[in-house]
A and B are shown apart, each in its own frame.
Chain A
Amino acid sequence: MEDYKFLFKVVLVGNAGVGKTCLVRRFTQGLFPPGQGATIGVDFMIKTVEVDGEKVKLQIWDTAGQERFRSITQSYYRSAHALILVYDISCQPTFDCLPDWLREIEEYANNKVLRILVGNKTDREDREIPRHIGEDFAQRHGMYFLETSAKEAENVERLFMEIAVELMEQAKCKELPKYDGSLGPINGKTSSVGDGSCCLR
């Protein structure tokens, strides 16, 4: 038995080149590898974090953004506990594609899945999508929202930690879909955990 109490699957989706792999690398390895090649199929990383003194294992699935890998990546939506939808704040088309991504999520993912909208690359000077536009979009579609920079390591740790906190809270309320056989014993009581909703501001 490995030393963790909760295991959550987090899946990153979004157009090619918005920085999904960089977010994952930054979080799991503390690196920002420039000149990263396009992800092929699906890559996967694991990081164990601690929330309220309890070990939480995050299994992070980094999907390829390119269209021809769609049939591979779609198969991972269903078992995801959290879906991170990423766009590039300096690239309007990546934002315009969000409704398509949402449709895909509706079709394949569990309807109780935690959804987070992330605007990446805040280090860029040539911002095209103002923060409030992203925020509005997230609010309209019932998603959490956060702007990050994998390059400057801004908000990356926070993004994943808040996902871990939120998912743990859900697990403790037994709100998680029951298919998760890998969860550890769940004690029924709800503990108030941090500021789980601060993603919205």
Chain B
Amino acid sequence: MSLTLLLEKYDVSTEDGLQKALSEIEKEECEVNESLSNALSRACTLEGRLRTASQAYCKLGEVRNDAQVAADMVEKTALLARDVSAKVRQLDLARSRVAECQRRVHDLIDLRVCSAGVDAAIRAHDYETAAGHVARFLSMEPGSVAAARARGAPDPRRDMDAAANTLRDHLVRKFEEASKKEDEAAIERLFKLFPQIGRAEEGVDLLSKYLASQLEVSIRRAATVSELRGDAAVFADSLTRVLECGAAAVERARRLLASAAAPPAQSAHVLLPRAVAVIQPTICAGVRRVCQEMMAARKLVLTDKADPLSVEHALGELALAHSRLQLYFGFLRRRAEVESNMDEAAKSACSEAIENLILGCDATRTAQDVLSHYLTLERYYLEESVNKALKLSAAAGSCSLVDDVFFIARKVIRRSISTGSVDGACAVLNEAGAALERCGAALRRRLAAPPPEPLPFPPPGARPPAAREPGAAPYLQLVGEAAAGAEWAERLAGEACRDAEALCRSERARAKLRSCAAGLGAAAAAFRAAHELALGALRAALAPSAHQWADALVDPDPDSEELDEEANALPAALEALAEEARAAVPHSADALLGGVLAELLARAERTMLRSAYSRAGGLALERRARRLAAWAGGGAPAARERAGALCAAAALLAVERLAHAPDALPPRAPLSPAAARDVLARRTDFKLEDIKRLKL
């Protein structure tokens, strides 16, 4: 506090004021003294710190100098390293040049050795060494050879080419000699040398030619059918032997090709098809020979039309022969796949080449001829067998028509699948569909005219006939067959699709097969139509009796004393009918009963609404309707509701007083109020006005 402020604050004119100011000044002085001594006491520490700081500064300077030195050194080292690496690069280059030079030197040395050695080796009949020399020459860099020439050495290529040609000639000659002598070991040894002298194709051709000539002999032996026995598949067996010989030859060629020193990769996929192409014609010739003999021996003898069974053996043999041919083609296709030292592209190229070979070869055409022959015979067999079954069934009234026809159809379809050809299976499916449709139509014609009393359903009061209608049982059996036929046709189609699935090599083939199998659906429709027709005819035959029963059911005159027995008569008659129907036509009994009962109930309802009832008559009707509804509940579920409606109507007709009518209706009665009023109006003792007033 400054003096002026002090002077302002205190009144210094008075003693008291002066005293106060003084004490204030003194207090302040004390404070100042205290802070001064505080400051003085800190000066020591500050001095110490200052000292330390100045020392540290000196050290930092030293460090800085050291760092500078280090940085300089690193820079120098980097420079040095750069120099070193450049030198290393140079060294590397030099080394690789040296390596190249060395290789060239080796090449040149080898070249000299080769050109000298190949002639010597040929002269010494050491073809392995000679081929080794040529292989060495072929693997040399062209640069080396050129370099050799540039240095004034005599052109080694001409010599080597000449040597290679000589070697090739020698090898070919030796191979042919070995072939003549059938010296297998020598042949295999010589074959392996061809890829080495860069003539793999030529080797393959020679080998294949040799194998083909070998094959010709074995095929001639295999193709000879010594005795023509009718009961054995001699031709199919012979064909199998021929194909086995062929397959063995192809497999041998493949194995030799695989074991020979690896030919240049780009030609590997060409060699196998090339070998097959040379061998295949021999196989084709053998196949054609056997198949022609087979087709001549197994042809249809038209005079022998009596029994289709006579061609069955031939059919089996033709199917077997065709499947053998397919098997052989499958074998050829797989040869490309088992080849392991090919990449994917080469494999697919090889597969394609093999596929083209198969498509173009004569054995394929022979197989087509065999299939055509088979299909012609199969059609004859199917048609004649079905005709025979139809004739038998019509003549004897025997009832295994559908059994027989489906047995035949299944047999021919299975046999066609066993040929291994989708087209064959499709064609037979088409034919089988036609035959089954024909059978369905025949069944329909026979079912159109039922016997007068196919099922026992005597009208009320009549005794059941002692003897059954003679035509009834066969007719009913035919009805059952028609129902079974539809089911079997569909099952057969599914079965055929499943069985032939393995033959399909493409999605299109599968679709084709499915479409042809679906053709059996048309046959199923024919059977179903026949069945429907028969059910209609049966209902029509039962209708007169049903009508009489309907009239009796709603008869308004309660004349009989034996009410109980009378009420049970219809259920009893229906039960008898149901039993007969279930025994005779198990699949269609329910539909038939439902139909008959529906017709009966409809007529009963119509008649009821035209009659007039007393209470007694209503009671009798109610009793009969209740029994019938009870029977329908168990016996003919399809007509239960209809019977319930009649029962409810009858209950209305049986009420004592009109006022009881609402209670007489069961809950959820299948009768509308309007219908209920119509029914009540049939009671003679109820007044129309009362009925109208009635709350339902």
Q: B365, A68: Cβ atoms under 8 Å?
A: yes
Q: A44-B515, A59-B515, A179-B526 are in contact. Are A79 and B424 (CB under 8 A)?
A: no
Q: B375, A71: Cβ atoms under 8 Å?
A: yes
Interface code A169-181, partner B: CB below 8 Å = 1, 0 otherwise?
Answer: 0000000000111
B512 at interface by CB-CB < 8 Å: yes
Which residues of the partner chain B approach A43 to less than 8 Å between Cβ atoms?
Answer: 508, 512
Interface residues of A in 163-189 (CB under 8 A from B): 179-182
B430 at interface by CB-CB < 8 Å: yes
Within the complex, what minimum Cβ distance (angstroms) separates B194 from chain A?
34
Within the complex, what minimum Cβ distance (angstroms) separates A115 from chain B?
19
Which residues of the partner chain A approach B428 to less than 8 Å between Cβ atoms?
Answer: 75
Q: A59-B515, A179-B525 are in contact. Are A41 and B423 (CB under 8 A)?
A: yes
Which residues of the partner chain A approach B310 to less than 8 Å between Cβ atoms?
Answer: none
Q: A68, B372: Cβ atoms under 8 Å?
A: yes
Query: Whose C-beta in chain B lies nearest to the C-beta of A71?
Result: B375
A49 at interface by CB-CB < 8 Å: no
Q: A75, B368: Cβ atoms under 8 Å?
A: no
Q: B426, A42: Cβ atoms under 8 Å?
A: yes
Which residues of the partner chain B approach A182 to less than 8 Å between Cβ atoms?
Answer: 518, 521
A69 at interface by CB-CB < 8 Å: yes
Which residues of the partner chain A approach B427 to less than 8 Å between Cβ atoms?
Answer: 71-72, 75-76
Q: B434, A78: Cβ atoms under 8 Å?
A: yes
Q: B512, A70: Cβ atoms under 8 Å?
A: no
Q: B430, A76: Cβ atoms under 8 Å?
A: yes
A34 at interface by CB-CB < 8 Å: no
Interface code A41-78, partner B: CB below 8 Å = 1, 0 otherwise?
Answer: 11110100000000000010000000011111001101
Which residues of the partner chain B approach A42 to less than 8 Å between Cβ atoms?
Answer: 423, 426, 512
Q: A40-B423, A44-B508 are in contact. Are A70 and B372 (CB under 8 A)?
A: yes
Q: B359, A37: Cβ atoms under 8 Å?
A: yes
Within the complex, what minimum Cβ distance (angstroms) separates B318 from chain A?
12
Within the complex, what minimum Cβ distance (angstroms) separates B497 from chain A?
16
Within the complex, what minimum Cβ distance (angstroms) separates B93 from chain A?
56
Interface residues of B in 100-143 (CB under 8 A from A): none
Q: A181, B508: Cβ atoms under 8 Å?
A: no
CA gap between A182 and B521 in the complex, in Å: 9
B371 at interface by CB-CB < 8 Å: yes
B369 at interface by CB-CB < 8 Å: yes
Which residues of the partner chain A approach B437 to less than 8 Å between Cβ atoms?
Answer: 179
Which residues of the partner chain A approach B511 to less than 8 Å between Cβ atoms?
Answer: 44, 46
B677 at interface by CB-CB < 8 Å: no
Within the complex, what minimum Cβ distance (angstroms) separates B513 from chain A?
10
Q: B376, A72: Cβ atoms under 8 Å?
A: no
Which residues of the partner chain A approach B555 to less than 8 Å between Cβ atoms?
Answer: none
Q: A180, B522: Cβ atoms under 8 Å?
A: yes
Chain B contact residues: helix, strand, loop or mixed? helix
B379 at interface by CB-CB < 8 Å: yes
Q: A179-B437, A180-B522 are in contact. Are A71 and B379 (CB under 8 A)?
A: yes
Query: Whose C-beta in chain A lies nearest to the C-beta of B437?
Result: A179
Residue from the list A72, A179, A180 in contact with B371, Cβ < 8 A = A72
Query: Whose C-beta in chain A lies nearest to the C-beta of B421?
Result: A41
Q: Which of A59, A69, A181 has the most CB of B within 10 A?
A: A181
Within the complex, what minimum Cβ distance (angstroms) separates A78 from chain B?
5
CA gap between A141 and B368 in the complex, in Å: 32
Q: B369, A68: Cβ atoms under 8 Å?
A: yes
Which residues of the partner chain B approach A44 to less than 8 Å between Cβ atoms?
Answer: 508, 511-512, 515
Which residues of the partner chain B approach A75 to less than 8 Å between Cβ atoms?
Answer: 375, 379, 426-428, 430-431
B286 at interface by CB-CB < 8 Å: no
Q: B508, A79: Cβ atoms under 8 Å?
A: no
B519 at interface by CB-CB < 8 Å: yes
Query: Whose C-beta in chain A lies nearest to the C-beta of B428?
Result: A75
Within the complex, what minimum Cβ distance (angstroms) separates A197 from chain B?
29
CA gap between A78 and B422 in the complex, in Å: 19
Which residues of the partner chain B approach A41 to less than 8 Å between Cβ atoms?
Answer: 421-423, 426
B433 at interface by CB-CB < 8 Å: yes
CA gap between A15 and B421 in the complex, in Å: 23
Q: A44-B511, A44-B515, A59-B515 are in contact. Are A72 and B522 (CB under 8 A)?
A: no
Query: Whose C-beta in chain B lies nearest to the C-beta of A46?
Result: B511
CA gap between A37 and B372 in the complex, in Å: 20
Which residues of the partner chain B approach A179 to less than 8 Å between Cβ atoms?
Answer: 437, 522, 525-526
CA gap between A46 and B507 in the complex, in Å: 13
Which residues of the partner chain A approach B375 to less than 8 Å between Cβ atoms?
Answer: 71-72, 75
Which residues of the partner chain A approach B430 to less than 8 Å between Cβ atoms?
Answer: 75-76, 78-79
Which residues of the partner chain A approach B423 to less than 8 Å between Cβ atoms?
Answer: 40-42, 69, 72
Q: A79, B433: Cβ atoms under 8 Å?
A: yes
Q: B525, A181: Cβ atoms under 8 Å?
A: yes
Interface code B519-544, partner A: CB below 8 Å = 1, 0 otherwise?
Answer: 10110111000000000000000000
Which residues of the partner chain A approach B522 to less than 8 Å between Cβ atoms?
Answer: 79, 179-181
Which residues of the partner chain A approach B368 to less than 8 Å between Cβ atoms?
Answer: 40, 68-69
Which residues of the partner chain A approach B431 to less than 8 Å between Cβ atoms?
Answer: 75
Which residues of the partner chain A approach B521 to less than 8 Å between Cβ atoms?
Answer: 181-182
CA gap between A46 and B515 in the complex, in Å: 11
Within the complex, what minimum Cβ distance (angstroms) separates A83 from chain B?
15
Interface code A85-124, partner B: CB below 8 Å = 1, 0 otherwise?
Answer: 0000000000000000000000000000000000000000
CA gap between A71 and B318 in the complex, in Å: 15
Q: Which residues of A are in contact with B by a Cβ distance under 8 Å?
A: 37, 40-44, 46, 59, 68-72, 75-76, 78-79, 179-182
| 5 cross-chain pairs, A with B, having the tightest CB-CB distances, nearest first | A41-B423, A75-B430, A71-B375, A75-B427, A181-B525
19 new A-B pairs (CB below 8 Å) besides A179-B522, A181-B522, A182-B521?
Answer: A37-B359, A40-B423, A42-B426, A44-B508, A46-B511, A68-B365, A68-B369, A72-B375, A72-B427, A75-B375, A75-B379, A76-B427, A76-B430, A79-B519, A179-B525, A179-B526, A180-B522, A181-B524, A182-B518
Q: Which residues of B are in contact with A by a Cβ distance under 8 Å?
A: 359, 365, 368-369, 371-373, 375-376, 379, 421-424, 426-428, 430-431, 433-434, 437, 508, 511-512, 515, 518-519, 521-522, 524-526
Q: Please, could you name 30 A-B residue pairs with CB atoms under 8 Å apart, sorted by A?
A: A37-B359, A40-B368, A40-B423, A41-B421, A41-B422, A41-B426, A42-B423, A44-B511, A44-B512, A44-B515, A46-B511, A59-B515, A68-B365, A69-B368, A69-B372, A69-B423, A70-B372, A71-B371, A71-B427, A72-B372, A72-B427, A75-B375, A75-B427, A76-B430, A78-B430, A78-B434, A179-B522, A181-B522, A182-B518, A182-B521
